[in-house]
Amino acid sequence: MKASASAAGKSETAIFASYKKAVEELLPLIEAEADAAEEQSHQSDRVVSELRKSGIYSMLLPAELGGAELPFVEAMQLVERIAWADGSAGWCTMVSGVMAASAGAFISPEGAKILYPNGGDVTIAGNGVPRGYARKVDGGYMFRGKWAYGSGIHHAEWIHSGCFVMDGDKPKMKPDGTPEILLMHHPRDTIELKGNWDVLGLRATGSFDYTLKDGETFIADAMCYPFDGPKLQRGSLQYSVGLVGLTSWGHTGWALGVGRRALDEIKRLANERSDVFGLLADSPTFRKSYAEAEAKYRSARAFVYDSWNGITERIARGDTATLEQIALIRLAMRHIHDVISEVSTFAHKASRGISLHASRLQRAYRDAHSGTQHLLLANEVEVECGRVLLGRTSPNATWMMFGVKG
């Protein structure tokens, strides 16, 4: 289904059904292209083209700009399925979703006309973690920097880069004592890729480092917005979760798909392969371990959807997510990654050498243990979840990307 502004006039059920159908039809292609994509270190042109045509990349873009504006829970199920087919394809899909939702909801009206002049079929990639530096000039900023992990950047038209705003040679501080950070949106032809994506897993995400071709580069005010607490410009109240919630949505949906694939692959192998000890599925110790892995995964998945459904229901009532609800989705994100690390390790060890060789199981194992390296899964963020759930925050506390202020 091609996302368009007309999506706002359909029922959510009909929109979601059409997207689910499109995703299921694309899974065989995504799987078939996965090996070649790993070899070239980025997604294949064909997979990207088909995902764009289906409207998947713009499923979270506000309808006003030509997106589908799907509810988070529905969009998460789509990412989960794509990540099941191939972790790298799922990763790039969730990145596109986060970028479209963020830019679509928060960029200025003038900036939206520049980014989306002909509807929602626009791809954005980059890294919002502040690794650049910006100085104020008339009409905008001069900025520079070197960014890492630009997932999906090979096929992107626009780049999204985080920068500290500088006051002389020091970061400019806001009244609350935190540094001022902006997200810059600049054309793909302003950057140079470093081609350094040689990694354990998520090999086909093309998460290259990048810099600006011309060093310090001008960007207009209209193409920037704050990293923390940006003002909602358009779209439903669901976008009020900000980048904190959007990134939690993306990484969580991805992890669900990869974890499920690892368990599905060891189940298939256990019922097909025999060695000197017999059929693996007939082993009582394997059966017990597999049952435990299923229980852990399914419990973590239930926690994910319970926490996200809670936010969805609150937003439907016209309220924004509470501090505790954001803590729960962030905790669910960390927990599902811990679980997929554990269950994919079980599957790898139980395969009796199968996952030493190139296979879907090996890929799921490698991808799972690459996804767990993300900065948003740091212990420090989980500590902040505990602080919130223990009630050790002030009445006016708010979530920032890497912790709680207050």
User: Is 67's pLDDT higher than 60?
Assistant: yes
Band of residue 13 on the pLDDT scale cut at 50, 70, 90? confident
Q: Across residues 346-370, what is the average pLDDT?
A: 96
Beta bridge partners of 219: 141
Which pTM value belongs to this model? 0.95
Instruction: Compute the average pLDDT of residues 20-47.
Output: 98
- Determine the 3-state secondary structure of 95 from DSSP: helix
For range 255-273, the mean pLDDT = 97
Asked if the model's pLDDT at residue 121 lies above 80, the reply is: yes
Helix (H, G, I), strand (E, B) or coil at 291: helix
Q: Average of pLDDT values for 323-331? A: 98
> Would you call 39 exposed, middle or buried from its count of C-beta atoms within 10 A (0-12, 13-18, 19+)?
exposed
Rounded mean pLDDT, 79-96: 98
C-alpha to C-alpha distance for 401 and 311, rounded to whole angstroms? 18
Look at residue 61 and tell me whether its pLDDT is greater than 60.
yes
User: What does the pLDDT average to over 22-46?
Assistant: 98
Residue 12 pLDDT class (50, 70, 90 cuts) = low
CA-nearest of 146, 245, 258 to 192 is 146
What pLDDT, in 10s, does the model give residues 143-195?
999 999 999 999 999 999 999 999 999 999 999 889 999 999 999 999 999 99
The two tokens of residue 374 are 């993300």
Q: Tokens 């001008």 identify what position?
A: 218
List, in order of start, the domains of the chain with CATH numbers.
5-115 (1.10.540.10), 124-226 (2.40.110.10), 237-405 (1.20.140.10)
Q: How far apart are CA 83 and CA 78, in angstroms?
A: 9
What percent of the chain is modeled with pLDDT above 70?
Answer: 97
Q: Do 325 and 314 meet the contact criterion of CB atoms below 8 Å apart? A: yes
Confidence of residue 273 (pLDDT cuts 50, 70, 90): confident
